[in-house]
Structure 1
Amino acid sequence: MSKILKFTQFSLRDLFASTLPTVLLIVGVCLLAYWLVDPAPPRTVRLGTGQENSAYEEFGKKYAAMLAKHGVTVTLVPSAGSGENLHNLRDGKVDIAFVQSGSTNEETADREELTSLGSLFVEPLWLFLREPKDKKPITQLSQLRGMKINFGPKGAGAPRLLHQVLELNGLETGDVQRLSLANTPAVVELLEGRIDGLVFTSAPEAPLIQMLLQTPGIQLFDFTQAEAYARKLPFLTHVTLPQGIVDLGRDIPAREYSLIAPTATLVAREDMHPALIDLFVQGASSIHNGAGWFQQQGQFPSAKYTEIPVDAEAAKFYKNGPPLLQRYMPFWAANFLDRMWVVMLALSALILPLSKIVPPLYVWRIRSRVYKWYGQLRTVEQKVEEAPEGARMQVYEEQLRRLDEIEELVNQISIPLSFADGLYGLRSHIQFVRKRIQFLMAEGAEALPV
């Protein structure tokens, strides 16, 4: 029974061997396309942040933690601020960075092959001053004449912005004693009384901002003309620091303040992989989407408030949300299918013609088990025909034994029932050759003398 089943069953081994070349061809094309059509996104990315204890540094850590969930390592590259981040982007030292609006323009960004991933949050210009000894508050920037003010280090966004603001107030470069300390040392100098004031451009989440807003003897400058500044410098917006927002119980601040604020944007190099752009924009949507001191729920991230053209992938996200596949699949799986859909479409057109090769190959493999024995059978016939006259009987006997061997091996062949006609045909032909040899032997025996 087991032999019958083996004889009649469908030959999976032959089917596998027949389909293997086609499968290997398709897999080979897929692998080639995987590397050539659109390279896989890198597993590491360099993010330009800011100074120690700055909002850029804090948000950079959040992006690193979020992208780590998707297997992407974010290396944080500290800097003096927005200006240095732009230089690092141009020099290829970072792939993406936080940049303050007003730091560049569309023409320059296009020339330097930079693209925006959208604006993230407003970062007001915080001007902190020591309270004057006469307790008379400073209400006009012209009152800063002769004071020691820390503008921030070279490469930060604050020096450039404050310089523009002071120019609007008629203050020349030498009218204010300008220092270029980093944020943390500048705060120490201010608290020790060795400088009169310092300026930040930062989100309120920065630890130094939080501390200075609650430090006695330190006053925040109120930009009462904020709306006029916003009209004069279009990249600025007028924002309000509400009374009590820092600490309602202690009523800090004790009144409302008007501030001027550029926006923080994510700026990337144009050659950054689209999949990484998607990840960063999704991260921005999660990190910056909530309500804050100066923004409403859902106001950020946004394709607005940036002078650098927004990347096409980012603009698509702001319009339609995350890509369809990434809503239901892990990032790397969705990214693979998104990159390979063109190849899969082309392969689907090839599968039909390629599949037509499989049945003939399968048939050939089955029939070849039978056909190869016809060569052996033909060899037997040739030896019979070429047998020398004096040794014919010996050759006939040898070839009969060879036929017995062939028949025994043929009887061990296992092929599907639908191909049995070929096997039975071979066996009948073996019998035909045997009878012919036996006939020749009988004829030769009669010819021998008695």
Structure 2
Amino acid sequence: MQGLLAWAIRHWVLTTAALLIACAALGYSLAAPAPPREIRLAVGAAPDSAYTLAAEAYAARLEATRFRVSKVPTAGSVENLRLLREGAVDVALVQGGIAGRDRDAGLESLGAVFHEPVWAFLRADRGLARLADLRGKRVAIGPEGSGTRVLALAMLAANGIGPEGFEALPLGGPEAAAALRAGTADAAILVSARVEGTIAALMRAGPEVALADLTDHADAYAAQLPFLVPVRLPRGGLSLADDLPPRPMTLLAPVASVVVREGTHPQVVSLLVSIMREVHRARTPFAPEASFPNTLTQDLRVNADAERYYAHGQTVLQRWLPFWVAVWAERLFTILLPVLGIALPLIRFGPAIYARHMETRVWRHYDTLRRIEAEAAAAPDGAARQALRDRLETLEGLVARLALPASYRRHIFALRRDIAYVRAKLAAAPGEDGYAPADATAAG
């Protein structure tokens, strides 16, 4: 009995240890690896562009969280997508209407962060009022690799003007504005979320340069180019003092989105979305406060971890602990959860199993004591009773040598008391205390 129980306990201990190790291994396999320490971030070439300013704000906050940030200068959205596909950068801003779910299947969006209105400035002194008037004209549409160029070509194509129908000037920003004011360009199509700088300068360029008002055709553009949404520029929206613009105007705008590669670490995604909320929550000339970031009008599939963040916010640990502390705490919790699922029942039932083992070490001697007591009733002669006394002495010696914790020694004392009781019966004369001689019945 004792050997069987000891074997069962050893088997239980080994099985429990194996289960705990297996559960820990399972938890480790389920836990995401630690986030990378370095993030490669695409940064625009123009120092005052919305892309550059946003990327610099991201970089500053990532570095404050003890990431190493590598800034990769790029020409714009097209190059950003290429670098993302090639794995040369990890995070980049991409203009709406540039990416495609089939071509860019390995990329995911973390959400839109701001509108980027299209500013189509035309030489009004040459009779140009609409994009449809630009056939055969010189139009600054941005350099190769820029999102501005892709969007300008799409808008001109919507007006029936293909790439061969006008002279494309690879100028953007200040260079495009300078060419337009100098008369070497008939029009300049700019995409910019910032109204300061180049946009403000062209709005003040004089009557020879005019901003195209798309109010009458905004719905038609949005129908043909669904990534564009109408945005309103109110009268005096750029300058109340100068009454710029002098009347309300409608522009079209894609949204700029933060794009990452598929498989980006979930905690990096959570951190980036929290940074996006911090940087882009403020109101803009084209959106009220807290409009961005959001997951509307996305060319790419939205990252699942980003969607969870938008739905539920940061985890409790990320909300109250520094980023890297929260990272390791969440990984440890993921590893320990399966272990606790096994350990808690063991903690609950383990003491009971241990107590039974301790008590069984005493109780097994009762089998011997009961046999001695039963044999004593049928042992009338002195020699047989002496042999039973010797067996009792041996049993008591075994019991005396039992090593049990103090809380279980009461069982030893109880057993020794019962041994003394049986010894007292053996000391009585045959026929006393319930014992009868073997031939008592026959003698009667």
TM range (shorter): 0.5 to 0.7
Counterpart residue number, 2:299: 307
Give the C-alpha shift of residue 56 in structure 1.
0.4
Counterpart residue number, 1:46: 40
Give the C-alpha shift of residue 37 in structure 1.
4.3
**What CA distance in whole angstroms lies between the structure 2 residues aligned with 1:264 and 1:240?**
17
- Is 2:250 the counterpart of 1:251? no
TM-score by length of 1: 0.67
Letter in 2 for 1:251: D
Matched residue SS, 2:74: coil
Alignment CA distance shift 1:184-1:42 (3 Å): farther
Matched residue SS, 1:228: helix
Alignment CA distance shift 1:89-1:174 (3 Å): same
Give the C-alpha shift of residue 210 in structure 1.
3.5
Give the C-alpha shift of residue 91 in structure 1.
0.8
Counterpart residue number, 1:13: none
Counterpart residue number, 2:190: 200
Extract unaligned runs of 5+ from structure 1.
Answer: 1-25, 361-417, 419-450
Alignment of 1:47-62 (within 5 A): 47-52=41-46, 53-62=48-57
Give the C-alpha shift of residue 35 in structure 1.
10
Counterpart residue number, 1:293: 285
Matched residue SS, 2:108: strand
Q: Deviations over 1:166-196 (max 9, x none)?
A: 1221223232111113434333333333222
- Is 2:268 the counterpart of 1:276? yes
Give the C-alpha shift of residue 119 in structure 1.
1.0
Counterpart residue number, 2:325: 333
**What CA distance in whole angstroms lies between the structure 1 residues aligned with 2:99 and 2:152?**
15
Matched residue SS, 2:275: helix
2:110 corresponds, among 103, 113, 117, to 117
Counterpart residue number, 1:373: none
**What CA distance in whole angstroms lies between the structure 1 residues aligned with 2:75 and 2:287?**
26
Counterpart residue number, 2:228: 236
Give the C-alpha shift of residue 351 in structure 1.
6.2
2:158 corresponds, among 154, 168, 172, to 168
**What CA distance in whole angstroms lies between the structure 2 residues aligned with 1:327 and 1:292?**
27
Alignment CA distance shift 1:255-1:148 (3 Å): same
**What CA distance in whole angstroms lies between the structure 2 residues aligned with 1:270 and 1:193?**
46
Contact in 2 for aligned 1:240/1:294 (Cα 8 Å) = yes
**What CA distance in whole angstroms lies between the structure 2 residues aligned with 1:162 and 1:323?**
42
Matched residue SS, 1:78: strand
Deviates most, 311-320 or 337-346? 337-346
Matched residue SS, 1:83: helix
Letter in 1 for 2:109: S
Contact in 2 for aligned 1:130/1:190 (Cα 8 Å) = yes
Alignment CA distance shift 1:214-1:71 (3 Å): farther
Letter in 2 for 1:116: S
- Is 2:148 the counterpart of 1:154? no
Counterpart residue number, 2:209: 218
Give the C-alpha shift of residue 306 in structure 1.
0.3
Letter in 2 for 1:335: V
Contact in 2 for aligned 1:54/1:208 (Cα 8 Å) = no
Alignment CA distance shift 1:334-1:142 (3 Å): same
**What CA distance in whole angstroms lies between the structure 2 residues aligned with 1:166 and 1:344?**
59
Give the C-alpha shift of residue 32 in structure 1.
12
- Is 2:58 the counterpart of 1:67? no
TM-score by length of 2: 0.68
Q: Deviations over 1:333-386 (max 9, x none)?
A: 1121222212122444576779989xx9xxxxxxxxxxxxxxxxxxxxxxxxxx
Matched residue SS, 2:189: strand
Alignment CA distance shift 1:130-1:139 (3 Å): closer
Letter in 1 for 2:211: L
Runs of 4+ off more than 4 Å = 29-37, 349-357
Alignment CA distance shift 1:185-1:226 (3 Å): same
Letter in 1 for 2:125: P
Q: Give the number of equivalent residue pairs.
A: 336
Letter in 2 for 1:59: A
Alignment CA distance shift 1:35-1:57 (3 Å): farther
CA-based RMSD? 3.3
